[in-house]
Structure 1
Amino acid sequence: MPTDSATDATAVFEAHRPLLQGVAYRMLGRVADAEDVVQDAWLRWADADRTEVREPRAYLVRITTRLAIDRLRQVQSRRESYVGPWLPEPLPTDFLAPGRPAPDTAERAVFAETVTLAVLVVMEALSPLERAVFVLREAFGYPYAEIAAVLERSEAAVRQLAGRARRHVEERRPRFDVDPDRQRELTERFLSAAAGGDLDGLLSLLAADARLVGDSGGKVKAPLRIIEAPDKIARFFIGIVRTSPAGLELRFLELNGGIALLTHFDGTPDSVFQLDIRDGRIQTLYVVRNPDKLASLAH
């Protein structure tokens, strides 16, 4: 039912906020950018003539998606001058939070397909419109006709965009095991081997074509290029562990649908470390150290 009261407007918006944040984050890959877009969507909603809005959900998704497209066009130009590899900002997904029911297979599959670091990195090569179509279709199951209305494009054009986006992601999307227990076990074994200087132990955990992707934004120490040789990855981590400051705290949590290790120093998030696993071995290691991308994980 249409409504024009401020109280009802706030209640309607808050009921849809998780959906809007989900759309914006998948579009932008940064929590702060997503929150800014959702806040702008709220301002548009608050100022709108809501008596004319028959479907608030569709209206809010349309506003948020268009704002996210505009923001993505802005940030893509900035990312061209980013120092070192760019990774999405880690997002808590809390699938394994105490007291929360375990997600069903379909729910985890959706998250694995749309918010993992690997998939978000692949999506970076999509145009803003392709990304919007991919997110709305693959993550939220929107019909092509509704996506066409959101983007003010013909349904035929949307289908073409969806096909291009899906082919791009399918061709480049890595296939990984997503068992959280296995992720945590290999993470612990990897860190233990690194702490003990066990080069052979580390190599036994790494796939032959393992890669290390570090994101520092040039603000702290991290590899400025992707490291692709297992021996170099192993030696790098042995050196990192040996030079880690005393008092570094470790905590496991779920980020982007998978288990990750968060390190704290003096109460400040220092690094996020997450593995992608295939056939029982570590395929990709992600290390996010850019302080701007860790601020939301501070307690």
Structure 2
Amino acid sequence: MHYVKAKGIFTSDYGINLYRGCTHGCIYCDSRSDIYNFNHEFEDIEVKENAVELLKRELVRRKPFMVVTGAMTDPYVPIEKRLQHVRKCLQLIYRYGYGFSCLTKSDLILRDLDLIKKINEKSKAVVQITITTADDDLCKIIEPNVCPTSRRVDVLKKLDEKGIPAVVWLSPILPYINDTEENINSILDFCIDANVRGVLSLNMGFSLRKGNREYFYGKLDENFPGLRERYVEEFGERNFIYSKNNKKLKGIIENRCRKHGMLYKQEEIIEYMREFPSRFIQSKLM
């Protein structure tokens, strides 16, 4: 871990990244790709020491909107337990009447359900949870340093109990690893049972760019002997690869989501998560 002074806090779409780098160890992580220009080891997490201060400065002078985090780095990496930067930001978001949405794989978010519930009651909150496999044993191979799927399902149920809407990222899908009908249906069962608002599946595949590719292939050699050769033969050096079961798996997701009233179209889910209720904007301005 190391500290830096940040010049700004928001991305162009009002996202924030309090940390840069990650210790979850997911074998497929696109954030390792060379295009992101990391100048430090990926596991040596960069902490924006003035992030909370910068966020407060921005929130006091803007109209409210959805503050989003988790696009580049899971906000609930283990050091968050000690630093509490996310929690401090949530306190500001609640105080100034903004909304909140985050993407995580970690059960550490349970620590902050009190604040997230308050934000949702005051304006709006949406929690996004990544689930890639229904099998805890496989989860520990492809996402080794974060809580297993069964624990994430517990998080979804607790969110439902608190009335906090959730979206499940059923992504990424790794060909010949988790691209089976059984896996997809099992994850959807979890989603239905926890009353999630939507299931975001993108395409049945993932990005495999330079930087990430080398790390991923090394992990294939460790855990799935012979599969690297199959990937190289089938996908070459493509930056984005898809399961041969793409159409069938997408159909399963669409049909079951439609049947159970869950959002599944990417554009609809993104709009839902980004949209801030206009009545709260007006109330703040009055």
Q: Which has the larger radius of gyration?
A: 1
Q: Which has the higher helix share?
A: 1
TM > 0.5? no
Q: TM-score, normalised by structure 1?
A: 0.25
Q: What TM-score, normalized to structure 2?
A: 0.26
